[in-house]
Structure 1
Amino acid sequence: MTFAVPVVDIAPYVTGTGDRAATAAAMDAACREVGFVQVVGHGVNPALADGLAAAMDAFFALPAGQKAGWRTPPEVNRGYSPPRSESLSLSLGVESASRMNDFFEAFNVGASQASYPHAPGLPQPDYAENTWPDVPGFRAAVEAWFAEASRVARTLTGVFADALHLPPDFFPAMTGHSLDVLRMVNYALPPGTVELDGELTGMGEHTDYGIVTVLWADQVPGLQVLGDDGGWHDVSPVDGALLVNLGDVTTRLTNERWRSTLHRVKPPVVDGTIRRRRSAAFFHDGDVDAVVAVLPSCLGPGEEPKYLPVTVGEHVAAKLRGSRAGVVNTAADREAARVLAARG
């Protein structure tokens, strides 16, 4: 069976016209079978993606020492991360061949306390203020994309609710002050021709942490998804599509009816030549205090929950301690088992 990432048109949920039931059914099938979806009909103006890419290029082109000035402590999920400062596989509790060896650099912004004036007293540093680099036009372009990605993510949770036969207020009730983060990534290898000596990791194998991720990416090889056949498969978006994948919160809610798909990024080396690859992932994670428990509707007769209840904050903190601080996550045994099976 050939591996393919399904394309789902969400226009009926964006425009208010069209066959929503067909869209929800197509989303359910994609989430059951793959967990990665190519979403079209999202209504995002292509000019916003162009502006985001230009802003990223301007920042990542700065000298390393200057970029380092916007680095934050590991517990603050904001600002700059230089190459080889993180290891995504540790978020699953899986040791890499070499710790902190992911060859990407990133810049994160997220929803802060100021984003949710209706919910005072949110815990810090979960809702930390952003640090903005002194790059002309950067903040405006990034905030414009953040707003649109947030709209798409919330539209998708409406599709999810229909696909899972949940009331329409289910996801809004757990995302009123959602831990939303936009991570802009540059796969920071020097340009030119390279001979690979052993394994080199662009971004280690991992699952995303929250409800859903909305990904803009270059149409450059590198992103790989773990299929049910135990093999890694290349994924590149079709023209105009946003890549969407499920996070661990959705896996827990659905008792693995829908799974957070394991994925990784290999260095963008094509025919021995390094190519530029950029991406921007918007993580829609849910409220820090929202309790994630298996939905009764996702349990079959006699079936037991595979996960104990946990808050979004507790779950995300354990994952971040792995990826950003190098502390092995011991609460991701089911995801780690999938990684180890693929390695075997």
Structure 2
Amino acid sequence: MRAATFFDGEEWRDGVVEIVDGRMRVRDAVPDDSLPRLDGLITAGFTDHHVHLQLVDVAPLARSVLGRVVDLGANPTVVARLAARHNSGHAVDAGEPIRAAAVATPGPSAVGPEVVLQVADDGPTIEYAGAFLTAPGGYPSDREWAPDGSVREVIDAAQAAAAVDEMADAGAHTIKVASNTVAGPVFGDALIRAIVDLAAARGLPVVAHAEGPGEAQRLAGLGVASLAHAPFTERLDDAEVVRQAASVAWISTLAIHDRPTRDVVIDNVRRFHAAGGTVRYGTDMGNGPTPAGLNPAEIGALREAGVTGAALLRALAPGDARASDARLLLLPGTAPADADPLAARLLSPDDLKV
């Protein structure tokens, strides 16, 4: 047992960390002065709010500092099966792998047509949206990297209702809408509002890929809960940034962009964060050669946008370290203000030895 400073998902607290029934646990306590103090700070595993598990080798996630990943576009049957087996605490059977048929990632890190999705027992929790909902012929229906069964082309409210029900019944935690005017047709306002209402009736928020002039502004005004990418097509004016800071969350994905787009999106995020907007760490894992784990390039870009210190930790959204299933991380140092997510590692029983 050690005295420890830990993050409860909202703030830093004092407590103790100990081994209970073979698992490391954190609990609230006022440590006795005689109790040795852990050399470091504790958080639960971090969250990547935008990943594509069918486009990466996910096995390394089991060794990463991620505690949760949110898949924002996949074949719902495949990702539901992966999540059900993994989240129940069982690894995928080696003799019965989940395979993604004919999948290739965009960019130079393309993988072969039979990608085995395997995660060890103690990897991050998997949440997912299921398939992209898009207009007929809309993005990403024509993309080679889009896995078979990962897109639902929707023409009207009736088809939208069927698609939302399909994703909800498959265990989705959110509904993903694609709205990319650069790449093809998109939903009209009425259909977006219908999808938002249909999703709400199933208790699900809507996250939107908004790309093209005016799309981030339009989608934010139609009731989506979050944007899958911080707006990057154009610089938003200050009034729009303030409006969105009060109504939607932005998932960062800053590091996928090259300049000058990178300069635009970082400027948008800097002003959005300063206006009190909710920034969520997300990498679009699978879009090019992204690491399966915490992405230093994304952390660096967030810091460049002014998301630092406690704000950066909130963007990474670690859960409550006191949760019975928390993946516990150790961050070097004793002052929360100095906590560096990039220095985090999985807490080990050896760390508790006196």
* TM-score using structure 1 length: 0.24
- TM-score, scaled relative to structure 2: 0.23
